[in-house]
Amino acid sequence: MKLYWAPQSRALRALWLLEEIGCAYQRVTFDLRAGTHRTPEFHAVNPMEKVPALQDGAACVAESGAIFAYLIEKFPDAGLAPPLGDPLRGRFWQWLFFASANIEFAMVEARGQLKLPEVAAGWGSAEKVFNVIEEQLSTTPYIVGEKFSACDIMLATNLHFAITALKLFEPRPVFDAYLAKCRARPAFLRAVAIDSHGG
Ligand SMILES: N[C@@H](CCC(=O)N[C@@H](CS)C(=O)NCC(=O)O)C(=O)O
């Protein structure tokens, strides 16, 4: 399995997920500024020419959420999603899609580049998105309940970029405590070590 990725990018979440799963994978590293990803070979893997993207034999999958769904299905024993038949499975998919459907737009809104009436905006408003996340994390230790899941990887990396790296939102104590818990995971520390030395 090959992960196409680049340091300090959204690919961190796929890297972290693969480290949590503990499966064998190979990294293909791009330099996005230098444009090393703009090749016909990578275009065939992801026509958007964006990372992360995954190649698993003849299968190619791009879009972070889709990569997560693919890996969760391939490695059910990794314990990173509620099992089939568990009622929490519904909430699991909800929070996974929440990231690309709502958080991404909330971040664009916070940068002042997007404003729609709340009733027409699919994500409501940036304030609402972050309030809803805070409400859930004030109720359960992890976003899908009592147990860490792949949705926490998606959410923690989003909160990290939105609050810590890009400073688009004010820190909130609930997010700080949640991020500290997620960042203490050995798989996260391995992913960050790979990310920071660029390999
Ligand atoms: N919707 C994609 C977004 C991925 C994305 O925007 N990746 C950026 C890096 S953070 C990228 O590859 N940019 C390179 C480019 O567009 O040339 C996902 O969630 O996976």
Q: Supply the DSSP string of 3-63, one letter for each residue.
A: EEE-TTSTTHHHHHHHHHHT---EEEE--TTTTTT-SHHHHHH-TT--S-EEEETTEEEES
Nearest to 158 by CA among 73, 65, 47, 80: 65
Ligand 1 atom nearest 9 alpha carbon: 10
Query: Is the domain of 137 the same as that of 60?
Result: no
| Same domain membership, residue 143 and residue 64 | no
Residues 96 and 174 in one domain: yes
Same domain, 113 and 156: yes
pLDDT tens track for 21-59: 999 999 999 999 999 999 999 999 999 999 999 999 999
Lookup result for tokens 């996974």? 96
Q: Determine which residue's CA is closest to atom 2 belonging to ligand 1.
A: 63
- Domain range spanning residue 67? 2-78+187-197
Residues 102, 151, single domain; the answer is yes
| 83 inside domain | no
Q: What is the Å distance from ligand 1's center to 16 Cα?
A: 16
> How far is ligand 1, taken at its centre, from the CA of residue 62, in Å?
10
Residue 105 and residue 72 share a domain: no
Atom 1 of ligand 1 has which residue's CA nearest to it?
A: 63
Q: Whose CA is nearest to atom 11 of ligand 1?
A: 50
Residue 59: CATH number of its domain: 3.40.30.10
Q: What is the pLDDT of residues 54-112, one digit of tens each?
A: 999 999 999 999 999 999 999 999 999 999 999 999 999 999 999 999 999 999 999 98
**177 and 95 within one domain:** yes
Number of structural domains the chain divides into? 2
Give distance in angstroms: CA of 67 to centre of ligand 1.
13
